[in-house]
Amino acid sequence: MGRQQARSDASTARALDTALKLFSHQGYGATSMREIASQSGLSVGNLYHHFGSKEAIFQRLIDRYWEALLDSELDLNRVFTRGRFPEDLEEMAAAIEQVVERHQEEILLIYVDVIEFRGSHIRTFYESMADRFQEAYASSFEEARGSGRLGEVNPLVAVMVASRWLFYFFTVEKCFGVPMHFGMSPNQAVDEFARILRFGVLPRPGEAEASPDARKDMVQERGRTR
């Protein structure tokens, strides 16, 4: 790779970064090529030289996010391939928080795509993701249920509900700027969700006497925090 290439790479990277920032924070239609050009230090002509069109820049950003999500080194993918749900629920939450934190703007980009392009840039990706998910967990759950580690619920639905909820929870908090902590800290909210998912909201008859009072007090205290 010669120096000419390196110069080009640095420029396209800068252009993509500023385009990501602009698209995600004001939408695709409301962002102009001149804006991308001036804020990234390139000329408009050079932008077209490298990308060809405005929509191609958007597509490149979606693709970049895609590849980052498929990285097997990603904590979240390690949690998924391990298949230890629901024991490692807290680790799953941390991994999802990490993804949302790292890819805040790319996640907003998906909502931009849904609204301004009817989701055309991400639809096929999402469907393939759901399939991959289903395959990865289907086998490990047969074993888990056989060994009595799971209750009566469909475990595939359970892991989908859990991961989707966590994704939604952190997205609303970090990307939309509307915290959903219900008067608690983020960690407490996640803990409370994990408890609901594991034990349900109804009292568990067998454990009514077994659980110490300290736990009930803890729940009370959480409800009061502001």
Partner DNA sequence: CAAAACAAAACGATCGTTCGGTTTGTAGTT
Partner DNA sequence: AACTACAAACCGAACGATCGTTTTGTTTTG
**Under the rule (CB under 7 A), what is the footprint of DNA?**
2-8, 10-11, 31-35, 41-46, 48-50, 53-55
Q: Give whichever of 12 and 137 is closer to a copy of itself, judged by the CB atom.
A: 137
Binding string to a copy of itself for residues 124 to 163, with x set by CB under 8 A, is what?
--x-------x-------------xxxxxxxxxxx-xx--
Question: Should residue 30 be labelled a site residue for a copy of itself when binding is judged by CB under 8 A?
Answer: yes
**Considering only residues 41, 55, 185, 223, which one is a binding residue for a copy of itself as defined by CB under 8 A?**
223
Q: Give whichever of 8 and 188 is closer to DNA, judged by the CB atom.
A: 8
HEC profile for the chain?
Answer: CCHHHHHHHHHHHHHHHHHHHHHHHHCCCCCCHHHHHHHHCCCHHHHHHHHCCHHHHHHHHHHHHHHHHHCCCCHHHHHHHHCCCCCCHHHHHHHHHHHHHHCHHHHHHHHHHHHHCCCCCCHHHHHHHHHHHHHHHHHHHHHHHHCCCCCCCCHHHHHHHHHHHHHHHHHHHHCCCCCCCCCCCHHHHHHHHHHHHHHCCCCCHHHCCCCCHHHHHHHHHHHHCC
**Considering only residues 6, 29, 38, 102, which one is a binding residue for a copy of itself as defined by CB under 8 A?**
29
Question: Should residue 56 be labelled a site residue for a copy of itself when binding is judged by CB under 8 A?
Answer: no
Q: Give whichever of 49 and 182 is closer to a copy of itself, judged by the CB atom.
A: 182
Q: Give whichever of 10 and 115 is closer to DNA, judged by the CB atom.
A: 10
Question: Should residue 120 be labelled a site residue for a copy of itself when binding is judged by CB under 8 A?
Answer: no
CA distance 150 to 101: 31
Q: Give whichever of 25 and 132 is closer to a copy of itself, judged by the CB atom.
A: 25
Minimum distance from residue 184 beta carbon to a copy of itself (Å): 8
Token pair for residue 112? 């931009």
Q: Give whichever of 41 and 200 is closer to a copy of itself, judged by the CB atom.
A: 200
**Considering only residues 7, 34, 123, 132, which one is a binding residue for a copy of itself as defined by CB under 8 A?**
123
**Which residues of the chain form contacts with a copy of itself (CB under 8 A)?**
24-30, 86, 108, 111-112, 114-116, 118-119, 123, 126, 134, 148-158, 160-161, 164-165, 168, 176-178, 180, 182-184, 189, 192-193, 195-207, 211, 215-216, 219, 222-223
